[in-house]
Amino acid sequence: MNLNKFWKVFLFLIILSLILVSSPSLAQNGKDILRLSFDAQSQIDFEGIRKIQTYTSDKIHSFVAKVIYQKPNFIYVEYLDPPYLKGRIIIDNGEKRIEYLPGIDKKIKILPSFNCSWIKEKRKKALKITLANFNISKIPEEKILGREVYTLSLSPKNSIGPFLKLWIDKKTYLILRKEKYNSERELILSLYYTKVNFNKHFSKKELYNKLPRIPSISKKFPLPSSYTLQEIKARANFFLSFPGYLPPGYTFQEGEIMAKRKIVKLVYTNGLEVIVLFQRPSAKIAMGPHKWMNFDNLGIRFREGPYGKTLVWNRKKKTFVLMGEVPLEELVKIAQSIK
Amino acid sequence: MNCDWLKENLSAYVDGEMNFITRWRIKRHLKECLECSKELRQLEKIHKLSKLAILVSPESHFYDRLKAKLPKVETIEHKKNRVFENIWIALPQGGKAAILVGIALILFLSVIYPRLSSTSLNIDRFEKEYLLSQETLTCVGEPATSLILTSE
C-alpha cells in the first residue's frame, strides 16, 4: 500500500466514524436513545391524539387528549375525554403554563413551564438517576402507526419497580408509546397515540384566535425554592422527621417549604418515580373515600387513585402525608420508619 | 380720657370689668376730676343697695308671673333610650347569666377555638403537589397530569 492510498483509506475511516457518531438515527445504545428522547418534544412540530390509561386494583381511568408540540417549547393539550374533563385546555409557551376550562374558569393560575430551565435541570438530574438505577435494553424493533420505532425496556437494578417499556420514534425520538408495570409486572399505566401527524406546522396566532377567551390570571405561580436536606432542616420552623427506610434506588432529591412555612415537602426519586412526604403541625385532612389500616398502633388512612397511593396519619402532634407509586407494603415500611 | 366717656363706662369700672391699664387711667382721672369722683361715689352706693336687695327673697308667685310674661320658647327634651337597660333590669338572674354565657360562647367559637383547634385541609392540595413533582422530577414525565385530579 503506497502512502497516498493509506491516507485516502484513513480519511474515509475518519469521515465514516464521524458520520456514525453524529447521526442520531444510527445510535444503537439504549441509554443514548433515552437521552435523545428526553428533549424530543421540544424539537418537533407534531400533532396527535394521545390516550393515557391508568390501572388501579378496582378501576381503569382513561384520558384522551389532542396534543400539539411546536418547536421550540410550545405545548398545547386539549382534553377530549372523559366527559368531565372535555374541553379543558393546557397551553405551555415555554415561559409559563396555563390550565383552564373555557367558559367555566373565570380566573386561572400560572404554572411554571414544563420546558423552563428550572424544570429542565431537575429532569436532567432525574435522567442521570434513571441511568444509574435501571438496566436499559433494546428489544426487537416494531412499527407503530406505520412508523419505525426503537423499543426499550427499563428494568430496575433492585426488586422494586417500576418496569418501563418505551416505543421511541426512530426519526424524531418522540415517545409514541409507554407502558409502566409495578413490581408484580402488572400494567399500571399505558400511554399511546391513536393518530400522529409529524411536521405539521401551524400558526400559533391562528390557534390563539380560535381559542375561547383566556380568563384573567388570578395568581402568578412563584417558582418554589428547593433545598438540600441540611438547608431544609435549618429553614423549617418545626422539628422535622425523616424516613429511616427508603425503597432501594430512591434518594433524596429536594425539599420545599410551602403554605407560609407550615408544610414541608420532601421528595425522593429513583429517576422514574417519586415518593413525596409532606409533614406539618397537626391538621385535619379531608380525604374522601378511604380505608383504615393499623400497623403497630399507627392508624393510617389509605387510598389509591389514578396517580398513585396516599397514606395519611398523625403522630407526635404532627400530620404526615406520604404519596408514591410503589407497593403498599413499601409505603407502610417508610411510614413506620419515620422518626 | 374725657368725662363723658368715663360716665358711660363707670358702671363697668365698678363691676371690675376693665383691664389693668384702663383702670389705671380712670383712677388718675378720678384724682383730678371732682365731678367724676362724685359720680363714682353715687354709683358705688347704688351697687351696695342693690346687693342688699338681692339678699331678700322675692314675693310668692313672683317666678310664675315672670314666666307668664316671658315669650314661649320651644324646648327639646333629650330622652335617653333606656330600652335595653330596662329589659336588663327586668331580666331574672338566670336570664342574665344565660345571655353572658351565650356571648362568651360566641366569642370562644369565633375567635379562640379556631386558633386552638387544628387546621382543616383537603388532600387535593397534596395530590397536586405530588403530581407536579412526578411530572418535573422524573425523566419521562408527561406535562399537565394534574388535570387527572379534576373530580368526576
The whole-number pLDDT of residue A224 equals 66
How close B92 gets to chain A, by Cα (Å)?
A: 43
ipTM tops the 0.90 cut: no
The whole-number pLDDT of residue B118 equals 55
- Would you call B139 and A283 a contact, using CB atoms and an 8 Å cutoff? no
Number of Cβ pairs < 8 A linking chain A and chain B: 129
Q: Of the candidates A114, A190, A180, A120, which has an alpha carbon nearest to the alpha carbon of residue A325?
A: A180
- Would you call A284 and B118 a contact, using CB atoms and an 8 Å cutoff? yes
Nearest by CB: B133 against A79, A114, A276: A276
Low-confidence ranges of chain B (pLDDT < 70): 53-56, 73-81, 112-119, 140-152
Q: Closest chain B residue to A118 measured between Cα atoms?
A: B136
- Would you call B140 and A54 a contact, using CB atoms and an 8 Å cutoff? no
Q: What is d(CA B84, CA A150) in angstroms, rounded to the nearest whole number?
A: 87
CB proximity A176 to B under 8 Å? no
CB proximity A106 to B under 8 Å? no
CB proximity A193 to B under 8 Å? no
- Specify the CATH class of A226-337 in words: alpha beta
The whole-number pLDDT of residue A25 equals 45
Nearest by CB: B147 against A37, A88, A267: A88
Which chain B residues have a beta carbon less than 8 Å from that of A278?
126, 129
- Would you call B129 and A285 a contact, using CB atoms and an 8 Å cutoff? no
How close A267 gets to chain B, by Cα (Å)?
A: 8
By CB atoms closer than 10 A (0-12, 13-18, 19+), residue A193 is: buried
- Would you call B118 and A38 a contact, using CB atoms and an 8 Å cutoff? no
A27-220 and A226-337: identical CATH topology: no
By CB atoms closer than 10 A (0-12, 13-18, 19+), residue A93 is: middle
Which amino acid does the sequence have at B31?
K
* Non-local CB neighbours of B56 within 8 Å, separated by 6+ positions: none
Domain layout of chain A by residue ranges: 27-220, 226-337
CB proximity A89 to B under 8 Å? no
How many C-beta atoms lie closer than 10 Å to residue B101's C-beta?
10
**Alpha helix positions (H), A23-110:** 30-38
Residues A55, A162 contacting (CB under 8 angstroms): no
- The H-or-E segment that residue A234 falls in is helix A229-235
- Architecture of the domain made up of A27-220: Clam (2.50)
Which chain B residues have a beta carbon less than 8 Å from that of A90?
143-144, 147
- Give SS3 for A322: strand
Low-confidence ranges of chain A (pLDDT < 70): 1-3, 14-28, 103-107, 109, 159, 211-224
Helix and strand counts by DSSP (H, E) for chain B = 8, 1
Q: Closest chain A residue to B133 measured between Cα atoms?
A: A274
